[in-house]
Amino acid sequence: MNFLAIDWDPSLGIDLFGYFTIRWYSLMFVTAFLLGIRFMKKIYIEDKIPVEKVDPLFMYTFLSMLIGMRLGDVFFYSWDYYQNHLLEIILPFKKSIGGWKFTGYTGFASHGAAIGIPIALYFYAKKHLQKPWLFILDRLAIMVALAGFFIRFGNFFNSEIYGKETGSNFGVIFKAAGETTPRHPTQLYEAFSYLALFLVMWYLYWKTDKKQKVGYLFGLFTAVLWSLRFMIEFIKEPQVQKRGEEWLFSPLNTGQVLSIPLVLLGIWLMLRKKK
């Protein structure tokens, strides 16, 4: 029996005057960006970079993150569906028996953002900073770790991306998702892991000389974050429920397979000798 299991059935968000609701996930998302802008301005001041250059940085980041996450879900997890529904990749509608139905964009994958954001920042660094590509990746990685904390909290409020069933007394019953048995709150496992990573990187930037070694902080971020993701995937429900999702590396799933090269890249960046 699970006497201490938590029944989790939160409201969708904050109801404002009965007209519209601010969803918790959206609130977490906005909070992450506002804090990210504030902290990046402090970093730019420390690096003697005009703070005006923070605004285009977050425009590059925001757009590349949304596009990358969307295409990541399409090509890494849901291509079997989207290859026959190409318009739905770019439109927030789904075709049904009665016609087109507005659904919003319902599929995002963090591995897509891991590709999209660095590509966009290459052009940002070249146009706005005239500094090495890894210079801005080192600094933005600190903010991305913090953003991961808030975004996973948003997933927890949405009762999504949860874990497998657990006999632990501290499991969570996600009633909003129709669950009746306790499951691992993997969103919280990831959230607090990312928060710890943010605090470590923030300390290394301000209190050590690691920021002088170009690529080290981004390497640390990449190696640790995707290692955490790799391990937590073992107790997380698969994002794609289909036969063969484990690829050729059973029992690894798609998320774990995609994490391995990112972990290796991070380790290489940390250990390489600066040229």
- The tens digit of pLDDT for each residue in 14-41 reads 766 666 667 788 888 889 989 999 999 9
- Check pLDDT > 90 for residue 204: yes
More confident call, 27 vs 142: 142
Q: Which comes out higher in pLDDT, residue 66 or 94?
A: 66
- Indicate if the pLDDT at residue 200 is higher than 90: yes
Please, which pLDDT band fits residue 103 given cuts at 50, 70 and 90?
A: low
CA distance 25 to 23: 5
Q: Is the pLDDT of residue 243 over 50?
A: no
- Reported pTM: 0.83
Write down the residue that tokens 């974050």 correspond to.
225
In this predicted structure, the answer to whether residue 245 has a pLDDT above a threshold of 70 is: no
Task: Please state the rounded mean pLDDT for residues 242-252.
Answer: 55
204: helix, strand or coil: helix
- Strands, E assignment, the chain: 6-8, 13-16, 20-23, 93-96, 99-102, 172-174
HSE-CB at 246 with a 13 A cutoff on CA atoms is 8
- pLDDT, position 138: 97
C-beta separation of 56 from 124 below 8 A? yes
pLDDT at 97: 64
Enumerate the domain spans of the chain: 6-271
pLDDT over 70, % of the chain:
83
- Mean pLDDT of the residues in the chain: 85
* The residue to which tokens 């409020």 are assigned: 157
